[in-house]
Amino acid sequence: MRLTSYTNYALRTLMYAALAHPRLVRVQDVADAYGISRTHLVKCVHHLGMWGYLINQRGRNGGFRLAREPEEISVAEIVRRTEEGFGSPSCGDADTSVLRLVDAVQRAQAAFLAVLERYTIADMTENADALRPILGFDIGHAA
C-alpha cells in the first residue's frame, strides 16, 4: 500500500514547477533538488508533458513549465494517471462479483482518492517561503 516513487516524483516535479511559475525549469534543477538521477526524472517530465500538465521546450534555454494554473491540478488527478493498476487491486479473477473483499478494497481506494481530490498543487506549495530554500531555489544551499 505504498505509492510508487514515480508518483512521488511526478507530484514533486509539479510542485517545483509551480514554485517557479511561469518561469522555465530545467530537469537537472529538479533532479538536484531531490537528489535523484536526471535520466530517471526525464521520463516523468516527458509523460507529464504528454498528459498536458507541463509545456516542454527543447533546445538551448529550454526547460518546462506548468501548462495549467496550480489551483486547477488536483493531487488525485496525478495519482490516477501514474498509478495505473488502480481499478483492479487485489485480484484478477472472474469471481470478483462474489468476493466482497474486492468490493471493500475498492471502497477504501475511493476514499483514498476522495481525500486527495480536495488537494491541489497550489495547496502543496502554499508554504512557498519555507519550501524554496529546501529546494535550493533562490539562495544557494551551501552559501
Partner DNA sequence: GCCGTATGCGTCTGACCAGTTACACCAATT
Partner DNA sequence: AATTGGTGTAACTGGTCAGACGCATACGGC
- By CB under 7 A, name the binding residues for DNA: 4-6, 9, 25-28, 36-37, 39-40, 42-43, 45-46, 49, 56-64, 85
Q: Does 67 bind a second copy (CB under 8 A)?
A: no
Is 98 or 143 the residue whose CB approaches a second copy more closely? 98
Total residues contacting a second copy by CB under 8 A comes to 42
**DSSP string of the chain, one letter each residue:** ----HHHHHHHHHHHHHHHHTTS-B-HHHHHHHHT--HHHHHHHHHHHHHTTSEEEE-STT-EEEESS-GGG-BHHHHHHHH--TTS--S--SSGGGT-HHHHHHHHHHHHHHHHHHT-BHHHHTTTHHHHHHHTT-SS-S--
Binding site for a second copy (CB under 8 A): 1-4, 7-8, 11-12, 15, 75, 79, 83, 85-86, 89-91, 95, 98-101, 104-105, 107-109, 111-116, 119, 123-127, 130-131, 134
